[in-house]
């Protein structure tokens, strides 16, 4: 067992150095308990300074989610959009192939619990947000056209459905982009010390 008095006097740098060179599971457990006494912010700060924060690829497989709303809504929305895009693709609109590929890859990564799902969620979120902004801008422009129209001109009305869809896509994009990492649990935490000899993947 590691000397308790020595542990109590160790700084975070000392603990991380010792954790990388520990020789037994018992010593590692003692060091981990001492590390847990420091705040997560302090551990992340020190590991960032040391250049030892775990990248996503070094954090292992996805083991769960901290938010049920995040994963359930993500699966439902992606599945519905995939079905719509497949139907669109089936009638000959080939541009639908791009979202079909992205959404299929996303659902596959969720099923396999692969860390790449975080990147795919963020790509999907950016696309959704851009689509939402485009819809809102188009309807705003339509409002300007209506306001400037003469009595002879008869521009089409603003689409409430498109406005609501734009707000939904923008909101969903922002939500999923911000929560993709925070809501995903990995085998190893970002601030969990790497073992000696750990290499980037």
Given this model, what pLDDT does residue 55 score?
Answer: 62
CA atoms within 13 A on the CB side of 6: 9
What CA–CA distance (Å, rounded) separates 100 from 83? 9
Given this model, what pLDDT does residue 1 score?
Answer: 46
In 3D space, the residue among 176, 189, 159 whose CA is nearest the CA of residue 73 turns out to be 176
The per-residue pLDDT for range 127-144, each reduced to its tens digit, is: 888 888 988 998 899 888
Kind plus residue range of the DSSP H or E element containing 62:
strand 62-65
Kindly state the DSSP code that residue 49 receives in the 8-state scheme. Answer: H
The per-residue pLDDT for range 152-167, each reduced to its tens digit, is: 777 778 888 889 988 9
Given this model, what pLDDT does residue 58 score?
Answer: 62
User: Which neighbouring-strand residues pair with 185?
Assistant: 64
Write the CB contacts of 141 (distance below 8 Å, at least 6 apart in sequence).
Answer: none
Averages of pLDDT over each 10 residues, the chain, 201 residues: 63 76 72 78 74 65 84 91 88 85 90 87 88 88 82 79 88 91 74 48 38
**Range 124-144 burial, b when 16+ CB lie within 10 A, else e:** bbeebbebbeebbeebeebee
- Global confidence as pTM: 0.64
């Amino acid at each position: 067992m590691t000397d308790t008095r020595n542990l109590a006097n160790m700084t975070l740098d000392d603990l991380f150095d010792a954790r990388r060179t520990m020789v037994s599971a018992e010593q590692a457990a003692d060091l981990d308990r001492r590390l847990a006494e420091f705040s997560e912010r302090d551990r992340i700060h020190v590991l960032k300074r040391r250049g030892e924060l775990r990248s996503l690829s070094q954090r292992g497989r996805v083991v769960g989610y901290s938010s049920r709303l995040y994963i359930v809504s993500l699966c439902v929305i992606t599945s519905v959009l995939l079905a719509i895009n497949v139907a669109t693709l089936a009638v000959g609109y080939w541009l639908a192939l791009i979202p079909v590929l992205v959404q299929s890859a996303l659902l596959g990564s969720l099923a396999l619990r692969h860390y790449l799902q975080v990147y795919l969620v963020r790509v999907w979120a950016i696309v959704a947000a851009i689509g939402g902004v485009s819809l809102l801008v188009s309807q705003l422009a339509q409002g300007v056209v209506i306001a400037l129209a003469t009595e002879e001109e008869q521009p089409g009305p603003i689409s409430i459905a498109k406005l609501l869809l734009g707000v939904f896509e923008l909101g969903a994009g922002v939500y999923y982009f911000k929560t993709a990492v925070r809501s995903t649990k990995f085998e190893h935490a970002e601030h969990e010390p790497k073992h000696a000899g750990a290499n980037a993947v």
